[in-house]
Structure 1
Amino acid sequence: MTNKNIQIATFGGGCFWCTEAVFLEVKGVEKVVSGYSGGNVPGHPTYREICSGLTGHAEVVQVTFDANIISYEDILIIFMTTHDPTTLNQQGADKGTQYRSVIYYHNEKQKEIAEVVLKEVAPYYENPIVTEITALDKFYEAEDYHQNYYRNNKEQGYCNFVITPKLAKLRKLHADKLK
């Protein structure tokens, strides 16, 4: 039996249903929780409040992974290549600050790695990367019906037209990193 090196990454890349579905397929990922971070109102926000765009929160996922199997750098590269980090406050038809591209770092080492990864992937994009790199303050778990959304709602229109193509892109770009 090997010792695990459990770490947590938190980031937002548009709708958390998409990002969650991507990371649930990655080798070394033990758990993915959809939630909210980065807001400026007191208390535990609700999905309805987040969707108003008035709370300042982003839809995010918190990814628990074994760094002995997949590195934080690889997690970030997958994140940066499975959403569009060049559109400010938008992913596809989803618009608003809650859909911003953001990396919430848990420590200085994660911050340093995030800065390096953004510089490394920047040349692959036609437009400048707008992904924020910010210290994690608080993470609020989203309501139960948001957890494992894709797995529980594959036939839903949004899943078919938005999430399924993202998963196809993941499988094409990162087949060696999948379960």
Structure 2
Amino acid sequence: MRSPIRFSAMILMSALMGAGCNGAQPQDPPPEAEVVAETAEVKQGAVGDVVLRCDEFQGGTHLEVVQTATGFEAAYVSEEYDPWDCRCTYTKREILGQYNQCRRSTVDPRIMNCYRIEPSGTIGKVVLSTTRVQKTQMVIGSSTTVNYSELSVAAINQDPGQTPRRDYVFPLSDCQ
């Protein structure tokens, strides 16, 4: 009868003392904890402040998100030739959407979500979302790999008369 009591006491003491498989050893945080990033609301700035700008490699074309008096506005800006005078160019600014709020990643400010809040309090049909995409490619016939990053931009505007969705991809280094 003494051996079962001693065995129970030994198990209880080892649990209290931290002996055993996992004992009192520090554990690594779960892998999800390392990649979880928070978002922060973009603070109100001056009208005309550029929140995000991504340049294309040709001809001064770029996508920009700017501060407006009522929130934010995304536009695709390009240089167009004047059809009546080929010596002149003008700036064409195509509005992708107007937003009440923008939220940025605390890790990379180029990663953001902008949206319009309707009078009923719901998120509207106008959203701009950017995503950083990391790509790795292997060169054919070699063990060499090439890594690069892109910023994928989805501009969704379901207002009447608008193109419902436009997608853009920019090299991450071309976005500020």
What TM-score range do you get, normalising by the shorter chain?
Answer: under 0.3
TM-score (structure 2 length as normaliser): 0.25
Higher relative contact order (CA 8 A, sep 6+): 1
> Greater CA radius of gyration, 1 or 2?
2
Normalising by structure 1, we get a TM-score of 0.25
